[in-house]
Amino acid sequence: MADMVEALRRLFESSSVTFQSDTRLVGKVLQRAAKIDLDRKAKQHEVPERKPQLTPVARNEHGGSMSITPWELLHTLGRATVLSGHGSSRALAQHWSCLKYITTLQANYQGRMELSADGRDPRYHRKSVQAEDLGIAFALAASLRIVQKRHPDYQFQIVDADVALEAGWALRGAEVRSRENTLLRPDYFLVGLKDDQPARLVTVECKGSHGRAVAQHEQLAKASAQVNAVVVGRSDGSAAPPPSLLMATALAGNGGIEMLILDPEGDGVLAVPEERSLSLNGPVEELHEFAGIPVKASDGSDDTRPGFYIPPQRSEWFSRVLTRTSAASLLAFVGDRRSARELLTPRQQARVGSEYTLPGTDTVFDTSVVLGGMRFIGTDHVFRFGTQRMEAFSGALVGLHQLLAEKDLQGYQSALPSVQAVWAGKRHQAEEEWGGVIAMDTDGALLGLRPVGVGRELEYPSSL
């Protein structure tokens, strides 16, 4: 039990993750990109188009580092990847995949975050999987801080790019007409919403590595092509990729974990514009678009390059796709996969799984708990940490869940600020009543972990 108490304490212990983002990094990544392109030409492979201008992130937008807890990182990972798999038989494992990292991160003697002995032990973690998972967690946490600094009056949400794009383009299976046209794409979208204003869109590519610096430089070079694969059209006939953030997390440094960040320029304007107010409520039609971005050939004729083009007349459609996908992710995270399916198109629903599942293979939305006078509903999971049985809970405030289940995304967006304010005022009381680590993210999703038998008891009503 003493080991578990120490592990829980470390999960809420803040430490520093340093950022590297300067012109020297830009030069190294461009050199690596040129070498990759030469190698591809020598093998007669097509050379992907990259964003033409790579720039550092402004120092006043990142401050050289971020202070963060392991629990926030694991929470971010769990939320971001809950729709990333295929089929309901894997739903339970994916839903709680972040918990395998509860003893992976720690603060070193300088207050910098690093991998723990468990995190470095190959018996517990495959390096490639760990680099991919933690690369996502660190990249999205840092990206959210940067875009929130740029646009403090917007609420930003994380959206899995694959899931969102599947509403308009077939990315897998027999429907894919050109694998080459869909192969390159960013990992995530950050979607910024403000009242009834047009949505802001930022593409994010998340990389992680245990290798030397050259490994991260190569990852960022490849990422510069991936974020160039989504282009948004304008009413004046122009088109451009939205702003983007390229993130490569170096996990194996002796001095602690470091992030290399670049900021390829986008159009810098609202990426999904509309002349009228944006309405988030309403259905989304599944499209069967050809994956290709319109360009001019060398002779001036019309041509396409691989990627995804959102024409101006589809801007409101894509805004709804993004917000509905984000909402479905939150519903899946709290265990309500039935309501999540209803927000997605048929192709997207494969990410959530079939309506019919085998016993023991899916999450069950049948759990509630009252903390700080607030009732949360969601799902729970019990697992072993050594000899200690642990209890995890993910949920959302009852009223917030109801808005999402009723597909009132406009109402959900309006309610979020007040939900966050109430949580901020009652957080300490909720933590004491829970008896372990617990936190709410900016979307209102709650995640808690504690030893079985402590704190306010979970309730299992007959129906929710």
- Gyration radius of the chain's alpha carbons: 22
Q: What is the pLDDT of residues 418-433, one digit of tens each?
A: 999 999 999 999 999 9
The phi and psi torsions of 103 (rounded to 5 degrees) equal -115, 25
Q: Does the pLDDT of residue 88 top 50, yes or no?
A: no
Q: Is 268 left (phi over 0), alpha (psi -120 to 50) or beta?
A: left
Question: Counting Cβ atoms within 10 Å, is residue 405 exposed (0-12), middle (13-18) or buried (19+)?
Answer: middle
Least confident of 26-35, 282-291, 455-464: 455-464
- The model's pLDDT over 117-130, given as tens digits with 9 standing for 90+, comes to 999 988 777 899 99
SS3 273: coil
CA separation for the pair 397, 448 (Å, rounded)? 14
HSE-CB at 263 with a 13 A cutoff on CA atoms is 19
CA distance 35 to 32: 5
Q: What residues have CB less than 8 Å from 99, skipping those under 6 apart?
A: 74, 78, 381, 383, 392, 449
Amino acid at position 242, single letter: P
Residues 6 or more apart in contact with residue 103 via CB below 8 angstroms = 7, 10, 116, 118, 119
Residue 6: how many other CB atoms lie within 10 Å:
11
Cα dist. 282→271, 315, 401, 408, 409 in Å? 21, 14, 18, 9, 9
- Nearest-angstrom CA–CA distance, 89 and 84: 13
Residue whose token pair is 């001095």: 255
* 414: number of Cβ within 10 Å: 12
pLDDT class of 27 with cuts at 50, 70, 90: very high
Residue that is written with structure tokens 């589809």 in the block: 314
Q: How many CB atoms lie within 10 A of CB 237?
A: 7
Q: Side chain identity at 267, as an amino acid letter?
A: D
> DSSP letters of 102-137?
TTTEEE-TTSBEEE-HHHH-TTT--HHHHHHHHHHH
Give the type of residue at 24. R
Report the alpha-carbon angle 202-203-208, nearest 5: 130
117 DSSP 8-state letter: H
- Residue 320 corresponds to which tokens in the numbers above? 């709804």
CB 96 within 8 A of CB 381: yes
Top-confidence residue, 228 or 97: 228
Listed in sequence order, the DSSP H helices in 82-116 are: 91-95
How far apart, in whole angstroms, are the C-alpha atoms of residue 250 and residue 133? Answer: 13
pLDDT at residue 358, rounded to an integer: 44
> Which residue type is seen at 400?
L
Lowest mean pLDDT among 94-98, 235-239, 269-273: 269-273
Q: 247-303, pLDDT tens digit by residue? A: 999 998 888 999 999 998 766 444 555 555 667 888 899 999 999 999 888 888 889
Place of tokens 């109430």: 422
